[in-house]
Structure 1
Amino acid sequence: MAANAWLHRLALGIALPLAVLTAPALWAAEPKTDAAPAQAETDAAKAVRYTRALETAPLADNALEMRRWLLRWILETPDHTVLVCDTLGTLDDENAPLYGELLVQMMGGNVAWQIEHPQDTDEVSHQLAGARSVLKMYAVYLANDPKWKVPKLDAAIERERNGTLREHVAQRLADECSEESGREKVALGEQSPPPPFLGGFLRESHVIYPLKVPTGWVMQNEHRYDELESGASVRFQREGDASGWMDVYFYPIGAINKQDLDRLAKAEREQLVTVWKDAATGAPLSALDTFSVPVKGGVSTPAGRQSRPEAITAYAADFTYKHRNNGRRYHSVLVFMVDRLYAIKLRYSADTEKLSRKQARKEAESFARSLLPEVDILSTGKCGSPSMAIDDQMADGCVGEDPIQPVVLEGRRELRFEYPVPR
């Protein structure tokens, strides 16, 4: 794979498959580890902490958050260079199980070693550290479910046991990633990097949504997550009806193509399988279906900006679960879509005594079709720079480089996100 292709995929980290960098975990924003620091930590220390946490708990509710932050930091830091080399032979098929998780863990283990051993400049040691970090994570996955079995990693574990893993890594490094091999190598940090996604491409965003949705839902509360990548969520309920609730998540995702959108949606479904496998009851999680959601009509498109579509594609799946606290059974519906540089995820929970599973699914889709035309999403930053244009046009949702102050009419509320330049 050409170096520029690697960098393009990694810079769009959100496109990695199998839930590597997708939505925020369902109920938590700040990844929690067993040894959270008592005082403010540097980003480098945080990178090490997240890497070690992912080695021992890769299926934790907040693992996706940690992977997303870790990859973005590696891409943006000027202090460390990570050579992405397929020393374990597992990165040749992006559709293989755990592909994205393995890639991020390999990079994390590599940079964690560099941070902990600043005097060690030996590339073989860096690659070996990345490989060993991957093997620790893989062992946890395999113990959790045999479906994650990867024969090449089993062989690597055996090499680690008999003391030949370093030799194998060194040989792969020479064969696949050296200048003499004739192959292109990818060194993050050695090329002129694009502006960081948050704090560069996006500096501010304004999500303006209605306090009441035409189908009868009323805003109850907001929750902002500590990690900027996680955005915020808004809960809606029908007045006087506590039998169901609708949580709407908004978080930055960037400009993505149809293939990447499909992967993100599949990753969301995979996350539900992982998180709810012990609480799900009845029929299994449904297949992922699509439906059309109209966008706000009658909006003129200024010159130099991408035109708005008439509708966007939403993805939906549903299942039934038993609530961990009150023991009641609920139907749950996931709706996932991307619009104007932001992911919008709905999670509808409905008491099984009030609605059938089919009715809950229909209700969630109706809510999505009612909500989205009432939502405005406006972003500023380098997304408005001519250098960031796509076919000489700014991405849909970007309104320029300079900050704006949108008017928020009565009956509406603004979620303002400010993204400082990364340290």
Structure 2
Amino acid sequence: MSLRRNGHACAIALAIACSLATPLVSAQSPAANRPAERPFLGGFLQESRILYPLTIGKWVARDEHLYEQAEAGASVRYQHGDLRDRWIDVYFYPAGIVPDERVREMAKGTVDGIRALPGNAGLPTGELEASRIEIGSDKDRRPSTVYSAGFMLARDGKRYASAMTLLAKDLYYLKGRYSGEEATHTPEGLHAELKDFTVRLVRESRLYSTGECWMPPPIVQVAVPDPKAPGALLDIGKEGTAQAVGFADRVEAVDAASTQAKLTQFMAYRASGRWIDGCHPPEDMTPDVPEGMRELRFEYRVPPERSDGTTPRLRSPRSGVG
């Protein structure tokens, strides 16, 4: 149904404008006067794997679509049992490193765009709501914010109740859209149902990416690593002697190829604060897909020279239903 999918590119445009990882050239400097930095897609992000659940309560994934434009990601449609008039569209698309305020701005832009659409003047539009949730595994829980709103839409002479949710997780945006005819649905009802669905989806989905976002410190082979050297963060030893010592910018190890060296590298990466949630080493790009889950695969290519990784029609931020 086009009511929920037609505006997806509008939200993508705003996502690209807000993403910290996307721009290659600052707004204050001409491109000709600055060296090209790494592109967002094809550089910072090169591959992604998204594992999503096939069922969430009574909702069942019925359709999956990968968009031709890489920055538009993919969408999954969930249908409620056998009811053909009840479905939720979920969108996964690359975001990069985005602070919570940028996610809020993007969600607000969507709501403001809906208010401004022809035919929507005077229709009820709920205020943007922020809900704090915990995501991640039990050992690595972290807070996140789901932004959501319920509203009425006018389209092709009909009125619809509708709702949207948006949050960022592991270098991706996750957006939900849910609409139904006014005769059988209310914005408040769809809003509450979509929020519950989104929280469950976020907690059950797994997102893995790799690329230049994965930058662990190099391993340097030395005869005698010194765990008391200035800047040492941690060390792994054997029989009282350090085999590897981790620093923010390097790992010193007796054997650069040893398990101790690689473990120290991983631990130093996290301890130094350089770890980026959602970014993993290349060897993690073949995750096991548990029963009841499905995998989306993205492989991003380096864009043509002097391109920032977006397509021309998405460079100007726009907002709207999506």
**TM-score, normalised relative to structure 1:** 0.52
The correspondence of residues 222-233 of structure 1 with structure 2, limited to 5 A, is 222-233=64-75
Give yes or no for contact 2:100–2:145 (8 Å, CA) kept in 1: no
SS at structure 2 position matched to 1:186: coil
Amino acid at match of 1:271: G
The structural deviation recorded for 1:360 is 1.4
Higher-RCO chain (CA-CA 8 Å, sequence separation at least 6): 2
SS at structure 2 position matched to 1:261: helix
Aligned to 2:5: 27
Partner of residue 279 from structure 2, selected from 398, 402, 420: 398
Distance of 1:239 and 1:348 partners within structure 2:
15
Amino acid at match of 2:54: L
Give yes or no for contact 1:281–1:322 (8 Å, CA) kept in 2: no
- Aligned pair count reads 249
Partner of residue 217 from structure 1, selected from 49, 59, 72: 59
Q: Deviations over 1:165-200 (max 9, x none)?
A: xxxxxxxxxxxxxxxxxxxx6232533443111000
More strand by percentage:
2
The correspondence of residues 141-180 of structure 1 with structure 2, limited to 5 A, is none
Q: Deviations over 1:87-108 (max 9, x none)?
A: xxxxxxxxxxxxxxxxxxxxxx
The correspondence of residues 12-411 of structure 1 with structure 2, limited to 5 A, is 27-28=5-6, 62=9, 76=24, 186-214=29-57, 216-274=58-116, 277-280=117-120, 283-298=123-138, 300=139, 308-309=141-142, 311-324=143-156, 328-386=158-216, 392-401=273-282, 404-411=285-292
Give yes or no for contact 2:129–2:148 (8 Å, CA) kept in 1: yes
Query: Where in structure 2 are there 5+ consecutive unaligned residues?
Result: 218-248, 250-268, 305-322
SS at structure 1 position matched to 2:103: helix
Distance of 1:378 and 1:28 partners within structure 2:
27
The structural deviation recorded for 1:308 is 4.3
Distance of 2:174 and 2:287 partners within structure 1:
20
The structural deviation recorded for 1:280 is 3.2
SS at structure 2 position matched to 1:364: helix
The CA RMSD over aligned residues, in Å, is 3.2
Query: Where in structure 1 are there 5+ consecutive unaligned residues?
Result: 1-24, 30-60, 77-81, 85-184, 301-306
Classify 1:63/1:363 alpha carbon distance in 2 versus 1 (closer, same or farther; 3 Å). Answer: closer
The structural deviation recorded for 1:70 is 9.9
**TM-score, normalised relative to structure 2:** 0.67
Q: Deviations over 1:91-139 (max 9, x none)?
A: xxxxxxxxxxxxxxxxxxxxxxxxxxxxxxxxxxxxxxxxxxxxxxxxx
Amino acid at match of 1:190: N
Aligned to 1:104: none
